[in-house]
Copies of this chain bind each other. A is one copy, B any other.
């Protein structure tokens, strides 16, 4: 079994991606970042998911992206609520974190080199996150070309494969794929702005995309939302 580094946020997409890495025959090594995000409950979800998936190792990397600011996810700006699907996809949302996926992939590249892992999995999605520049196929392709030169193996023009299996899928398709692979979505969290009990707000862009996906997949979302009771 070959090793794969899997970027795991504890959300729906990365949890499904972890199951895909397993399906593809890899031994998964999960990597999670505590980066000053408001929704730090993500890290707890990532721990639960990594435990349930029995990954070979799980590292939590502390990097404080608040040093730079520039995002509603790490700063004090309000998280947008109740936006329409149209306004979500126009322009770059204020929840975009500068160069986040570039930074995450770079740490994954370092760990892959040390582990001698041939694959890095990232759950980026270009359909639902069309406004995030670092979720696009052309970004991933350019990252691959850079990664092919960046490490020891790069002396011979080789690097780990950057895998983004969800990049062209709708949220409903991702949920159906996860269900077919036995993913337990009750362990995951997606909300940008959960309450103090860890319940999802149901109104931020991320919640709305998630709920729409479950609805279209004809599956009920097993996590708790504000208003569901304590």
Binding site for B on A (CB under 8 A): 59, 61-65, 67-70, 92, 96-103, 105-107, 109-111, 113-114, 133-134, 136, 138-139, 142-143, 145-152, 154-155
A107 to B, closest residue via Cβ: B103
If A67-B61, A102-B106, A110-B70 touch, whether A142 touches B149 (CB-CB below 8 Å) is yes
B59, A67: Cβ atoms under 8 Å?
Answer: yes
If A63-B63, A150-B133, A150-B139 touch, whether A98 touches B70 (CB-CB below 8 Å) is no
6 closest Cβ contacts across the A-B interface?
A: A99-B110, A70-B114, A98-B113, A142-B146, A98-B110, A133-B154
- Complex Cα distance, B95 from A130, in Å, reads 40
B109, A152: Cβ atoms under 8 Å?
Answer: no
With both chains docked as a complex, state the minimum distance between the C-beta of A134 and any C-beta of chain B, in angstroms. Answer: 5
Given the complex, which residues of B lie within 8 Å of A150, measured CB to CB?
A: 99, 101-102, 133-134, 139, 142-143
A68, B146: Cβ atoms under 8 Å?
Answer: no
B64, A98: Cβ atoms under 8 Å?
Answer: no
Known interface pairs A102-B106, A134-B150; 10 further A-B residue pairs with C-beta atoms within 8 A, sorted by A's residue number: A61-B64, A62-B62, A70-B113, A98-B110, A98-B113, A98-B151, A98-B152, A102-B146, A134-B149, A142-B142
With both chains docked as a complex, state the minimum distance between the C-beta of A21 and any C-beta of chain B, in angstroms. Answer: 19
B102, A68: Cβ atoms under 8 Å?
Answer: no
- Interchain Cβ contacts under 8 Å between A and B, 27 examples: A61-B63, A65-B110, A67-B111, A68-B111, A69-B114, A70-B114, A92-B155, A98-B111, A98-B113, A98-B152, A99-B106, A99-B109, A101-B150, A102-B106, A102-B109, A102-B146, A103-B110, A133-B152, A133-B154, A133-B155, A134-B150, A134-B151, A138-B149, A139-B146, A139-B154, A142-B148, A143-B146
